[in-house]
A and B are shown apart, each in its own frame.
Chain A
Amino acid sequence: GNSVTQMEGPVTLSEEAFLTINCTYTATGYPSLFWYVQYPGEGLQLLLKATKADDKGSNKGFEATYRKETTSFHLEKGSVQVSDSAVYFCALGGSTLGRLYFGRGTQLTVWP
Chain B
Amino acid sequence: DAGITQSPRHKVTETGTPVTLRCHQTENHRYMYWYRQDPGHGLRLIHYSYGVKDTDKGEVSDGYSVSRSKTEDFLLTLESATSSQTSVYFCATTGGGGTEAFFGQGTRLTVV
Contacts and interface: CB of A to CB of B under 8 A. Distances in A.
Q: Do A and B come from one complex?
A: yes
B58 to A, nearest CB: 8
A98 interface: yes
Given A42-B105, A97-B50, A49 B42 contact: no
Interface in B11-67: 30-31, 33, 41-43, 45, 48, 50, 56
A49 B98 CA distance: 10
Interface string B79-95: 00000000000101010
Contact of B105 (A36, A43, A93, A94): A43
A25 interface: no
A103 to B, nearest CB: 7
Secondary structure class of chain B's binding surface, majority of residues: strand
A46 B50 contact: no
Contact of B30 (A51, A89, A98): A98
Residue from A51, A89, A93, A98 with most neighbouring chain B CB atoms (10 Å): A98
14 contacts: A43-B103, A44-B92, A44-B103, A46-B102, A49-B100, A93-B94, A93-B99, A94-B97, A97-B48, A98-B31, A98-B94, A98-B96, A100-B92, A105-B43
8 nearest A-B residue pairs (beta carbon): A94-B98, A32-B98, A104-B42, A98-B31, A43-B103, A98-B96, A105-B42, A44-B103
Interface of B: 4, 30-31, 33, 41-43, 45, 48, 50, 56, 90, 92, 94, 96-106
